Chain A
Amino acid sequence: MEKEYWRWPESRWTAPDIDWKSGDIISAGVDVGSVSSQAVVMVDGQLFCYSNIRTGSDSPESAQKAMDKALEETGSTLKDVHYTVGTGYGRVNVPFADRAITEIACHARGANFMYGPSIRTILDMGGQDCKAIHCDNKGKVTNFLMNDKCAAGTGRGMEVFADLLSIPIEEMGSLSFKVEEEPEPVSSTCVVFAKSEAVGLLRKGWPKEKVLAAYSSAMAHRVVELLERIGIEKEFAVTGGIAKNEGVVKRIEAELSIKALEPQHDTQIAGALGGALFAKALVEKQRGLR
C-alpha cells in the first residue's frame, strides 16, 4: 500500500499524580470531529487523562473508541464517570453522553482552562473547519466566525498537501522553514486549484520545501482574513490540529504581529476539555452545589 503521509499519530495521556478513586466528581467530554475525536476525563476539575484518535466512518463507534483509549491504563472505566458531555460535529452521536453542547462553547471553555482566563481570541483550526472565537474571562463565548464550507485553511487542506509532497504531516511545519527566503504565497484559494498550482511549481523546479512554504503562508493568510473580520484581542491562542504546525502558526503570528500563547497540552483536546468542564458544572448543579 502507498504510504499515507497525511496520517497523523493518535495519542493518549494520563496525569501522573491523580488518584481518581478519591475524586468526588469524575466528568468527561467527548469531541467527535469530522477528522479526529478526543475524550477528556477530569477528576474534580483537574485534567486526569485524554485521548486523541482519528474519526472513523461511524461516529458512535469513534466516540466509544476515544473514551476507551483515554481510560486505558488508568484503572477506571466509563461506569466511574458521573457525567459526560458530547461535542463536535458528531456530538449527538455519542451514545453514552448525558448532554450535547456545541463545540464553539466547549472550545472557549476548554481554552480558558488551557491558556488561563486572560485568553480572549481563540483560533480553532480543525480538520474540516476553522473558527475564530472571542470569549470573556470565564470562557464564555462573546462572538465567533467560522468557515466550514471550504477546505482552504483547514487540516484537510494540509493533509492534501502532505500527500502531494510526500511529507509526513508532523514534519510539515519545520520543513516549511527550510527555504532560503520566503516565497510568494500560493495564489489560489481553493485547495483543488492550489494543488494544481503546486504541481506547476514543482515542475518548474521548486524544491518541495519551497512549495510547502508557499502553501503554508497562503493558509496563514486565509485564516488571518477570518480573524481580522472578527478582530483580534489579546491574549491569543491557536487550537486544533493545525496548531501543531509551526509553519502555519508562526506565519499567522508574523502576519498579525502577535504572539500566540504556548500550549501546555495537546491542542486538539480543547473541545473535549471544555465538555468535561461543563460536565463537572452540571454534576454540581444536580447535587445542589451550585
Chain B
Amino acid sequence: MRVSGIDCGAKFVKALILDDDKILAKGSAASGFDQKASAQEALGKALKEAGFSMEELEHITATGTGKEEAAFAQTTVTEVGANAKAMSALHPSVRTVIDVGAEEGRAIRIDDKGKVVDFAINEKCAAGAGTFTETMARALEIKVEEIGPLSLKSQKAVPMNAQCAVFAESEVVSLIHAKHSKEDIARAVHDAIADRIASLSRKIGLEKDVALVGGVARNVGFVDSLKRDLQLDLLIPEDPEYSCALGAAYVALEKAKGG
C-alpha cells in the first residue's frame, strides 16, 4: 500500500513515500515564498524517484508548521505526533525524542507504545533552533556546514553570556576581537544552543533512550555539545530531517488501512 508523509518545515519541505513499511523514496525542496509550490516540488521529487504518480498514492498526510499549505494531503498530524510515531516504530526503546529544526525545538516523551506522555516546544526564540547556528556561522564568516566539524576541533570551552541570537552575534564578534579561535567560538555556539535544548528536554523529564531528529541533528558540533550536556548517548536515525515526514507517512498508512 503506497502512501506519503509530507513535512512542511520553516526552511525545507520533506516528502517521503512508503510502500507498507518500506521507505521507497524521499524528496525535499526549500520552503520558498510559495510553500504550496514547495510542497508540490518536494512530493514531485519523491514520486519521480519512486517512479509513479500522485494518483497512485492511497493517502497523504501532512505535518509541519506549514501543513495547511499541502492542500493535496487528505489528513494532517502534529509534528509531536509524527515524531512520536516515527521514532517508536524505528527504535521501540526510545522514550524521549528531541527534534531540532530551523525555527523550532521540541522535546517529546513517549511511552512503550509510542504514545505521547508530555512535550515542550520552543517556537518563540531563535536561541533554541537551527537558525541560531546559521546566524553565528555568518558572524564567523564561515559556511553553516563548516561550523559543526570546526567545533569538534575546539581546545577549550569559552562561555557565551548572551542567549538571544541578536546579542550572541555581537558577542561572537567580541570573541573574535578577543582573539579566541574560530574552533572555540564554534563550540561556544553549539554549547549555547545545546544548553537551551537540554533544559527544554529536562523540563519534560528526560528518559532513556533518547533520539535526536530534525535537520540540526546533522550538525556534528551540536550533537557533541548536546551529548556532553545531557551526559548520555543519542540515537540519530539515518536522514534525521525526515523523521516528521516518516511519522506522517505512518499515519497515512494507518488511514489508508482504515485506521
Chain B 152-193 interface mask (CB, 8 Å, partner A; 1/0): 000000000001111100100010010000000000000000
A174-214 vs B, Cβ < 8 Å mask (1 yes, 0 no): 00000000000000011111000000100110000000000
Complex contact A193–B166 (CB within 8 A) = no
Min CB distance A37 to B, Å, is 15
Complex partner residue of B166 from A57, A192, A200, A204, CB under 8 angstroms:
A192
Asked if B126 is at the interface of the complex by the 8 Å CB criterion, the answer is yes
Contacting residues of chain A (95-128) with chain B, CB-CB under 8 angstroms? 128
B166 touches A157 (CB 8 A): yes
Contacts of B126 in A (CB 8 A): 190, 192-193
Nearest CB of A to B32, in Å:
9
Whether B166 and A156, one on each chain, are in contact in the complex, defined by CB atoms closer than 8 angstroms, is: yes
Complex Cα distance A260/B127, Å? Answer: 33
A160: interface (CB < 8 Å) = yes
A190-B163 CB under 8 A given contacts A57-B177, A200-B33: no
Closest to A156 in B: B166
Contact of A79 with B by CB under 8 A: no
CB closest residue in chain B, given A200: B33
Report B-chain residues with C-beta under 8 Å of the C-beta of A192: 126, 131-132, 135, 165-166
Query: Which residues 131-177 of A have a CB within 8 angstroms of B?
Result: 149-151, 156-157, 160
A150 contact set on B, CB distance < 8 A: 125, 163-164
User: What is the bound-complex CA distance between A193 and B131, given in angstroms?
Assistant: 9
B 98-132 binary contact with A (CB < 8 Å = 1; else 0): 00000100000000000000000000111100011
List 20 A-B pairs, Cβ < 8 Å.
A57-B177, A149-B164, A150-B163, A151-B164, A151-B165, A151-B166, A157-B166, A189-B124, A190-B124, A190-B125, A190-B127, A190-B164, A191-B164, A192-B126, A192-B131, A192-B135, A192-B165, A192-B166, A193-B103, A203-B33
Known: A149-B163, A156-B166, A157-B166. 12 other contacts (CB 8 A): A150-B163, A150-B164, A160-B166, A189-B124, A189-B125, A190-B124, A190-B126, A190-B165, A191-B165, A192-B135, A192-B165, A192-B166
| Chain B interfacial positions (CB closer than 8 Å to A) | 33, 103, 124-127, 131-132, 135, 163-167, 170, 174, 177
